[in-house]
A and B are shown apart, each in its own frame.
Chain A
Amino acid sequence: MDKRTTLSEAVAELRDGMTVGIGGWGSRRKPMAIVREILRSPLRDLTIVSYGGPDVGLLCATGKARKVAYGFVSLDSIPLEPHFRAARQQGRIETFELDEGMFQWGLYAAATRLPFLPTRAGLGSDVMRVNPELRTVRSPYDDEEELVAMPALELDVAFIHMNRADIHGNGQFLGPDPYFDDLFCGAAKRRFMTCERLIRTEDLLAEGTIHTLKINRTMVDGVIETPNGAHFTECPPDYGRDEAFQREYAATAKDPDAWKRFVETYLSLESEEAYQQAVRSR
């Protein structure tokens, strides 16, 4: 099946209030072309589920996100995501803040169609206080241990970015870490994969071993080739993080005029191609 589609067609499937999972980790291999397409849309009130980076920061700064489920939000080389901080400190967003491992368990529960998975992580901590909807469960065996029942993090749509993919939805990561992108796909009803380069299925082993083929085509509904699509996050070995651009982005959080210029220069453009052109010509 040829699953090629476009950024606008993929984002057209979203509705206000949907729960959207975003793959990658911090400022690493994020499907930023999709994030930018969401910014161009009239969508609002989204719940964003993410090992958060600038995807979360941008969606908060532009009012697209109403709620964020996260274990952290960081730009890695800049430890605190300033736009996310601003949104939190102004009380603009709701939170579902979790331990990183609980977060994985929530995705895994959703991906395996379980209502919850038990874990020790979270016990005794304020994860339980700030999320009063969380419950514990008692082991039915002789140990009778009480554990956190991490609920499934069910997603309406998931977006991930891979280094290579074929038109059928097989995806390949060539960097050091697959992160949890397969679980994001597993947890979602609709799954879209952007990639640096679309290649023939026969060429999937040309650049990486069989172990790098983390995404198989049952996990994906649509594929989009977006060269430099993770910019300004890193996407090794294709490219590193654009630290200068990231610094520019981060600095706009405390300067409304700079943010306005940043939006005009990079985010209010009509297409991803125009964004990439603006990045090249700066």
Chain B
Amino acid sequence: MTVFSRAECCAIAIAEVFRGDGEVLVSPIGTLPMIGARLAKATFAPDLLMTDGVAPLVANVLPVSGDDRPEPVIEGWLPYRAVFDLLWSGRRHVMMGATQIDRYGNQNIACIGDYAQPKAQLLGMRGAPGNTINHPTSYWVPNHSAKVFVEQVDVVTGIGYDRAAALGPRASRFHEIRRVVSNLGVFDFETPDHRMRLASVHPGVTVEEVREQTGFELVVPEAVPETRAPTGDELRLLRDVIDPEGFGGREVVG
């Protein structure tokens, strides 16, 4: 059996989030999301559109180190204004981080504590409200704990299924939280009332461990599968092409 790291397992789980998306803009925020999205594009999702992190759209698969080898093949130009146009059209799937997330997928990246005078000011709303109401959104949490997976988030930046449902079917028709990938497992919302469900645990992680590290009651099916292992070809791409320096391993806990 091939030996692989937790970070490589997370990269596979993240890549799988984009399977079947077809020709959409993928905006992966964070190192492992970038690695996972590039792996998806290099393998089973070749039609994904991606920038180099700034405005140029890059056709080929580059290392996440920012190395200019191989030479980038520029296929287009997507300044921020065009990103907004595109995201409002719905042809996008974003993977954002979450300092807090709750059972319905409400995300907080704005601040912790009282809004008027927060204990910790974070990024701000960024594009989260617009992203979540307009196109599929997934989340990446490299440090799964009960401080991140909380009963209630302090500020709702990206909206979850309960908030979307309250808006009614018309306003929420483009809302979809596809999946949450953490350093412990993969989570989806495929339950009758869209509560977060444990979809798989990464190899070496127990269901009990995930429960203990989650601050709300997860939906846990009777049999929880393991996150799939990388193929030899995927490992070669990760190690030789996309992340030879191992940046992904520095982001993930465990």
Name A's B-contacting residues (CB within 8 A). Answer: 25, 52, 70-74, 79-80, 84-85, 88-91, 97-102, 104, 119-127, 129-130, 143, 145-146, 176-180
Contact = CB atoms under 8 A, between A and B. Distances in A.
A108 B120 CA distance: 32
Nearest to B108: A126
A120 B130 contact: yes
B69 interface: no
11 contacts: A52-B124, A80-B122, A91-B116, A100-B125, A100-B126, A100-B130, A123-B129, A123-B159, A124-B159, A125-B132, A177-B79
Interface of B: 54-56, 77, 79-81, 84, 87-88, 110-111, 115-130, 132-134, 155-159, 163-164, 166-167, 170-172, 174
B87 A97 contact: no
A80 B79 contact: no
B125 A125 contact: yes
A89 B121 contact: yes
B127 A120 contact: no
A189 B87 CA distance: 30
Nearest to A126: B156
Contact of B157 (A25, A101, A125, A179): A125
B126 A176 contact: no
A69 B235 CA distance: 45
Given A25-B80, A100-B126, A120 B121 contact: no
- The 7 A-B residue pairs with the shortest CB-CB distance, nearest first, are A121-B130, A91-B117, A125-B129, A72-B124, A88-B121, A176-B55, A99-B129
A104 B127 contact: no
Contacts of A88: 111, 117-118, 121
Contacts, number: 128
A130 B115 contact: yes
A98 B87 contact: no
Contacts of B157: 125-126
B79 A179 contact: yes
A125 B159 contact: yes
A125 B156 contact: yes
Contacts of B171: 120, 123-124, 145-146
A166 to B, nearest CB: 23
B53 to A, nearest CB: 10
Nearest to B124: A72
Given A99-B128, A122-B129, A176-B56, A80 B121 contact: yes
A121 B77 CA distance: 24
A99 B81 CA distance: 14
A177 B80 contact: yes
Contacts of B159: 123-125
A22 to B, nearest CB: 15
B55 A100 contact: no
Contacts of B172: 124
A146 B166 CA distance: 13
A71 B127 contact: yes
B158 A100 contact: no
B123 A124 contact: no
Contact of A101 (B54, B84, B120): B84
A97 B116 CA distance: 11
Contacts of B163: 124-125
Contacts of B129: 99, 102, 121-125, 127
A25 B122 CA distance: 17
Contacts of B132: 125
A267 B122 CA distance: 26
A123 B133 contact: yes
Nearest to A127: B129
A88 B79 CA distance: 30
A142 to B, nearest CB: 12
Contacts of A72: 123-126
A52 B124 CA distance: 10
B125 A120 contact: no
B123 A121 contact: no
Contacts of A91: 116-117
Contacts of B170: 143, 145
B252 to A, nearest CB: 17
Contact of B133 (A100, A124, A129): A124
A85 to B, nearest CB: 4
Contact of B126 (A25, A71, A146): A71
A150 B198 CA distance: 38
Given A74-B123, A124-B166, A145-B171, A99 B115 contact: no
Contacts of B118: 88-89
